[in-house]
A and B are shown apart, each in its own frame.
Chain A
Amino acid sequence: MSVADDLRPGAVRTLGRRLGERWRGRELLYQLVRKELKVRYRNSTLGFLWSMLTPALMTVVFTIIFTQIVPIEVGGPFAAFFLAGYLLWQFFQNSCQGAIHSVVGNADLVKKVYLPREVLPLSHVLAQLIHLLLALLVISPYLIWARGWQVLVHLPATLLAVALLTVFTSGVAMWLAGVNVVFRDLQELFVVMFLVWFYATPVLYPLALVRAMLGSEHLLATLLQFNPMTWFVELFRTPLYGAVVEAGNGGVTSLAPAWPGVGAIAIALAFAVVTFVGGYLVFLRRARTFAKEV
């Protein structure tokens, strides 16, 4: 029996140690999120307000284009409809964009310090989450004004949608961060990939409009349902803006903010859990050799 054998029980050891470290990783995660936010808002008096500039500008531009020039029917004020999807999309895209570089860009840490590496992509997701919550707070007066008090009543549903998307985004973020280490082209593909993904998600247009114009059996309408982001956006929008449904005359109309259906929640939950577990497993497998590869 070698000395190493003497040090067993190995399985308990490894498992316990893993869990112990993941638990201790909380602190690091907290500090990294703080760092993200601080670095971002430091040196600017307006701080957080600056980061509201992009969605504000996008809303103005898209509202002008899609109400005045190429009208898109949303069954209500376009700006409110757009914001209620775009904030979510922005959270998703910014999280992934930060996460994809998080391992490669921290080569120093990865090579020289032992830490649970998943905190690197996750810190970006959490920093963006805080950002999203602040942004929601800022625009809620407008949404309440545009859509009524129902928005506030259904707040728990909004938060549930955000929570599910956070789980989903974490999975995608870890996958991207892990795969980018061995496949650096991924970050080049990122921009175009997310641009396509953006238009394939009903942020600018309601899913009901696609169904109303093309018929719900149409290939495009079916394809859109395979996009997980479709479900998250719809889930988020229902309590915040109100579901958009077919009006029967080939057009659409919007309902008041309401509770989303259990079916929609279940599908979003399934997407979130599967993506998270898958992304985490890929990341952990890759993480073993990060120190050799970055």
Chain B
Amino acid sequence: MPDRRSLGQLTGLELDPSRPAVVVDRLTESFRLYHERPTGLKERLYRLSRSSYTEFNALEDVSFTVDHGESVAVIGHNGSGKSTLLRLLARILPPDQGTVVTNGRVASLLELGAGFHGDLTGRENIYLNGAILGLSRAEIGERFDEIVDFAGIRPLLDTAVRTYSSGLYVRLGFSIAVTVDPDILLVDEVLAVGDAEFQARSLARMRRFHDEGKTILLVSHDLDAVREMCDRAIVLEKGRISFDGDVEDGVDHYRQTIAGRATLPPTPAGRRGPVTIRDAVLNDARGGSAGQVAPSDQVVVRLALQAGRAVAACSIGVQVADESGRTLYAFVSSEQGIGVGPLAPGGTATVEVRMVAPRRAGEYTVTAFIGDATDGEVLAVAPTVSPLRVAATRRAAGNLDLAASAQVVEGPSTTVVAASTLHHDTTDASHRRS
């Protein structure tokens, strides 16, 4: 075989254009779920005979090829294996089965500012973080000004990063990471942090990568950004590829799986309570599925229930929890004097609970339940009506929507086209969308 490739190309560190950028072949990755993680001596001795973990596949039989210059979105529900896939591509995790081959310099933005040390100054952290990402001192020196300017930290360069705001911290992390000048860029939801201005700038930066013909794999819940940035989408569902193709079709496919999840799993057989929830959906104000809404938007939980026996009165409850499972809001209709009933055996009712989406961008779960109106006993639960995804509006900066509006109370007022520096890059994006 005539082989004219350089040593760098042979080792995969340098780009070899005659081969695909990424080849993933029958990849399976499993994790152990320890029932109680044995880390100490006592536990180890105790458990020597019986293993106390179950193994599950975070990725199962995943195969795909990415060509140079492609920009691919990886989308899927929480826990579907997106981050695991990127960590395998970045070689942080070794594959359990199958192969992962990358061709060219890989940079991964899985976490910004990983390895920053609070007691070191911004300048020192740039060198440290650059080295962590594989840059030499000379390379960092060349890019130093670019990094500082992109992050906008020049006045704070010699201050300990401990004193930086979290937004600044992330910005610095991103600025360093993007100067790695990779052939393949892996990005995992890091763009969700930071303010709107930063998001816009980083998207612009990624677009530049794309235009330069770099290969991008992007994990994001921001489906609009995904559609704008990527040509292709891979949808993961429980560790398997459920879709691989054009990005528009991929986003549609993913939206359908959200809608599919909104209908309720039937109440477990054998435990037919006095009341069952036949259907529970989360809609937006217009009655469509509320897969993604803006902060403070109206959402409606619609519950259809059926009595198994005669019921005098029951109340409806709705609970909203954040990503870590912490309950943020709980509502019980009987507190407002509203109940359902009386219902004859087999009688049905439909209830709508209206509320506003949380003001803070993020992913929430909505749980609905039916309780006995008198003693509060829970009769039926719809565990997850639907994931509720709140994405920041692009009309303002920040993660918390305070619904600001301006009015000229004295003096002449005029209508202006949004020329704010906040959104240079997002305005043309919204054009495309409308």
Query: Contact residues of A with B, CB < 8 Å?
Result: 2-4, 6-7, 9, 12-13, 16-17, 20, 24, 27-28, 30-32, 34-35, 38-39, 42-43, 106, 108-115, 182-185, 288-289, 291-292
Contact = CB atoms under 8 A, between A and B. Distances in A.
15 contacts: A7-B23, A7-B103, A13-B10, A17-B11, A17-B13, A31-B131, A38-B119, A106-B115, A109-B132, A111-B92, A113-B111, A114-B90, A185-B39, A185-B40, A185-B41
Contacts of A183: 39, 41, 44
Contacts of A34: 124, 128
A20 B65 CA distance: 25
Interface string B112-140: 00110101100010011001111111000
A114 B111 contact: no
Nearest to B30: A292
Interface string B81-122: 000000100111110000101010010101100110101100
Contacts of A2: 25
A20 B332 CA distance: 62
Contacts of B87: 111-112, 291
Interface in B1-24: 7-8, 10-13, 19-20, 23
A35 B110 contact: no
A292 B11 contact: no
Contacts, number: 112
Nearest to A110: B92
Given A288-B94, A291-B87, A292-B31, A113 B124 contact: no
B120 A35 contact: yes
Contacts of B44: 183
A197 B180 CA distance: 45
Contacts of A24: 134, 136
B151 to A, nearest CB: 19
Contact of A35 (B11, B19, B25, B124): B124
B115 A108 contact: yes
A178 to B, nearest CB: 15
Contacts of B8: 20
Contacts of B103: 7
Nearest to B106: A114
Nearest to A28: B131
A38 B118 CA distance: 12
B143 to A, nearest CB: 14
A292 B93 contact: yes
Nearest to B40: A185
Nearest to B13: A20
A12 B23 contact: no
Contact of B128 (A35, A42, A110, A112): A35
A109 B111 CA distance: 9
Nearest to B111: A112
Contacts of B31: 292
A115 B19 CA distance: 25
Given A17-B11, A34-B124, A113-B92, 14 more contacts: A7-B19, A13-B10, A13-B12, A16-B13, A24-B136, A30-B137, A39-B120, A108-B114, A112-B87, A113-B108, A114-B90, A114-B92, A115-B134, A184-B40
Contacts of B40: 184-185
Contacts of A12: 10-11
Contact of B94 (A35, A39, A289): A289
Contact of B110 (A13, A31, A32, A112): A112
B353 to A, nearest CB: 39
Contacts of A291: 87, 92-93
A12 B132 CA distance: 25
Contacts of A114: 90-92, 106, 108
A39 B119 contact: yes
Given A3-B25, A109-B115, A30 B131 contact: yes
A273 B432 CA distance: 64
B159 to A, nearest CB: 13
A81 B11 CA distance: 52
B347 to A, nearest CB: 52
B132 A16 contact: no
A186 B137 CA distance: 36
Interface string B25-64: 1000001100000011100100000000000000000000
A-B interface, 6 closest residue pairs, ranked by CB to CB distance from nearest: A16-B11, A112-B111, A31-B131, A4-B25, A28-B131, A185-B41
A28 B94 CA distance: 22
A193 B33 CA distance: 32
A43 B120 CA distance: 11
A2 B64 CA distance: 11
- Interface centre among B7, B90, B114, by most chain A C-beta atoms within 10 angstroms, is B114
Contacts of B108: 112-114
A38 B25 contact: no
A32 B101 contact: no
A38 B123 CA distance: 13
Nearest to B160: A42
A122 B70 CA distance: 39
Contacts of B19: 6-7
A27 B137 contact: yes
A291 B119 CA distance: 26
B239 to A, nearest CB: 15
Contacts of B11: 12-13, 16-17, 20
Contacts of B23: 3-4, 7
A31 B134 CA distance: 11
B84 to A, nearest CB: 10
A57 to B, nearest CB: 26
Given A13-B12, A27-B131, A4 B99 contact: yes
Contacts of A42: 119
A13 B117 CA distance: 34
Contact of A32 (B10, B20, B128): B128
Contacts of A32: 128, 131
Contact of A9 (B10, B32, B106): B10
A31 B128 contact: yes
A199 to B, nearest CB: 23
A140 B7 CA distance: 48
Contacts of A39: 117, 119-120
